[in-house]
Amino acid sequence: MSGVRETRDLPSYNGPTAMVFDSAVTACCVAEIAHALVGGRVVSVRQPRRLEVALEVESAQGSSWLIASAEAQYARVHLGRAPAQRDPAQFPFGIFAAKHLRGARVLGVRQIGFDRVVRIDFEPRNRRLVDPVRALVVEVMGKHSNLILLNNVDMVLEAAKHITADMSRVRTVQPHDAYAAPPARGTLDPRVAGAGEFIRLLEAPGSVDQPVEGVLLASLQGANRVLVREALHRVSIGPGESAASLGSHRVAGLAAALVEVFSPVAAGAFRPVRWIEPAAGLPELYPFALDQVPGPAEPVESLGLALDRAVSRVRRQGELEAERGRLLALIAKARAAAERRREKLAAARVPEHELDRLRHAGESILAALPIIPPGARQVQVPDLYSPTGESMTVELDPAKTPQANAEVYFRRYRSARSQAEKLPALVAQVEAELVELGDLEARVRGADERRISGAAAEVEGHRLLQPYAQRGRSGRPSSGPRFLSCSSRDGFELLVGRGASESDELLRTVAAPDDIWFHARDIHGGHVLIRTARHPERVPMATILEAAAIAAHYSKAKHSALVPVDYTLRKHVRRARKGSAGLHIYERAKTVMVEPLSPAQMRQDATDMERRS
């Protein structure tokens, strides 16, 4: 498994609207959370998605929801609305958090430095817990975001993402690890820095010839691209200009602008606003007004609630576009098939002169039977239809008699004539299908959120698209209870082919090229698949060992103490030629030795571990 290096992502603009979650937004959301939650008690815990958790807190201000997400595109922490409840058994992190945090009192909420890391401290209520959760740390770092539960000595008890040494060379995040904060991006805290410190930073020997924006982003704590560009905008300095090109007067002006733009954050003077029609690449929401964002803006009562609404809108839009893309892909498959049929029909069209040549050849052979020698491959015979009495060359099969050769030409003529008579209707049918598909595509492209479900029903029920829709559904594990499905402790979906036919179907119709495939080495048994969502490098070793243990359980060696299990990517597995179902050949495999365990035993072990914790 290849590792990935953990880096500090700058805040990214997510979705069709520009929603940024930088250090200033974090500070504003932390202030709102502290005001609403400190002193309150957690009354419920929900985990609507694998990398998102929601805490309902009852306090003197009433009932509020804390939303914390480690999703790469939607990483954030803020006050929000009650999320839809889902079955928490699908997500081990949610089970653990609910057990430890339900009833706990919120002691404090703080931003770590001026970074996108938030720590929420709790006083546990359940005294029967041996090692209760004392803090929830939310790290908003793009694709490296995480939700981490700590005990009283800052030891990791559970995390939404388990980060192993294979996945990151910077730090690991696994149960029983000592928590280490993410590496800081810069050293200068812009909230407390004065103009002189900014001037010294920009005029340092190693910085004077570098672009001022890059120098500031690399040297300031946190992720501050929006505020740095706001300061540059206020003094009309381009991001690519260097301090050497500015001169001391403009550098001093930039330093004063930096102090000015960071002062609301330092003072906690947040007045969140939303721009009605933000320009491309600029924020839609921010803790205070920005000169660089044109157009009308309106104040919002809570930045967190506004973020919650915006993320919900972007999610719905993303789901809409994903569904639209799926339907358009089905239509594209049907269109490609229709166009291939049209091309074949065009290639099968026999010109009229060729039809005449076939008929003339057959009749000329019959007329010249006495002069055609047996076994001839080619013969010159009079052309019965030539006005000048010319002869024609006719190819013959030497193994056939002249009469049989004539019959071959007549048969080819009748077949070509029959096909030529049917071709116009077939071509017209294909053209009508293409027009029909075009109309259907236009309706799908124009469908909004309310009409997309109707468009999906129309596409999947259309006679031209049913074969492709059925084929697409066969590749979804949720389409039926054909395969045993369970989740690893890290939240990855595991699918089990318990016999030869199930294993064969699992490989053919469900597995994606980058899913991880398991089979007991040199032993008859079932196959196991880890669904990786095209990112096998993110699967931790703990999940690999769980899948291997299940594969060992469904093998002939299930009663052995240790079983060797091979695993590799699905794209390196193929069915043995002329082999029976379930017989596969694979390469580039690794091997682990595991104790066979059933999914039920694993769930029991996880429950026992939580009880002990």
Distance CA 402, CA 370 (A): 10
Establish if 224 belongs to a structural domain: yes
Joined tokens for residue 529 = 């698949």
Residues 6+ apart with CB under 8 A from 276: 295, 296, 297, 298
Whether residue 117 is found in the same domain as residue 28: yes
Establish if 536 belongs to a structural domain: yes
Whether residue 129 is found in the same domain as residue 200: no
Residues 6+ apart with CB under 8 A from 512: 531, 532, 534, 570
Distance CA 393, CA 382 (A): 9
Establish if 600 belongs to a structural domain: yes
Whether residue 28 is found in the same domain as residue 155: yes
Distance CA 314, CA 306 (A): 12
- Strands 590-594, 573-575: parallel, antiparallel or unpaired by DSSP? unpaired
Q: Which residues of the chain have pLDDT under 50?
A: 1-17, 87-89, 472-481, 610, 612-613
Establish if 248 belongs to a structural domain: yes
Whether residue 152 is found in the same domain as residue 190: no
Joined tokens for residue 158 = 């559970």
Distance CA 20, CA 542 (A): 34
pLDDT at 349: 79
pLDDT at 140: 94
Is the CB of residue 8 less than 8 Å from the CB of residue 218?
Answer: no
pLDDT at 213: 92
Crossing angle of helices 212-219 and 195-202, in 10° steps, is 120
Distance CA 573, CA 527 (A): 12
pTM for the structure as a whole: 0.66
Establish if 376 belongs to a structural domain: no
Distance CA 223, CA 186 (A): 9
Q: Which of 219, 244, 263 is the last residue of a domain?
A: 263
Distance CA 210, CA 219 (A): 12
pLDDT at 346: 83
Whether residue 508 is found in the same domain as residue 589: yes
In three-state form (DSSP H/G/I as H, E/B as E, the rest C), the secondary structure along 180-195 is: CCCCCCCCECCCCCCH
Q: Which of 263, 288, 303 is the last residue of a domain?
A: 263
Q: How far is CA 547 from the centre of its chain?
A: 22
DSSP 8-state class, residue 61: T
Distance CA 84, CA 391 (A): 86
Give burial (CB, 10 Å; 0-12/13-18/19+) of 262. buried
Number of domains comprising the chain: 3
Whether residue 485 is found in the same domain as residue 601: yes
pLDDT at 50: 83
Establish if 227 belongs to a structural domain: yes
Whether residue 204 is found in the same domain as residue 117: no
> Using one digit for the tens of pLDDT, what is the confidence trace for 190-217?
999 999 999 999 999 888 889 999 999 9
Distance CA 314, CA 444 (A): 19
Joined tokens for residue 225 = 């691209």
Show the domain range for 75: 23-159
Torsion angle, CA of 237/240/243/249, rounded to 10 degrees?
-10
Torsion angle, CA of 411/412/418/419, rounded to 10 degrees?
150
Whether residue 481 is found in the same domain as residue 592: yes
Joined tokens for residue 123 = 């006083």
The CATH number linked to 130 is: 2.30.310.10
Whether residue 39 is found in the same domain as residue 151: yes
The CATH number linked to 221 is: 1.10.8.50
Whether residue 536 is found in the same domain as residue 572: yes
Give burial (CB, 10 Å; 0-12/13-18/19+) of 250. middle
Establish if 147 belongs to a structural domain: yes
Whether residue 195 is found in the same domain as residue 143: no
Establish if 370 belongs to a structural domain: no
Residues paired with 80 in a beta bridge: 65
Q: How far is CA 416 from the centre of its chain?
A: 51
pLDDT at 484: 81
Q: Which of 217, 240, 263 is the last residue of a domain?
A: 263
Whether residue 147 is found in the same domain as residue 227: no
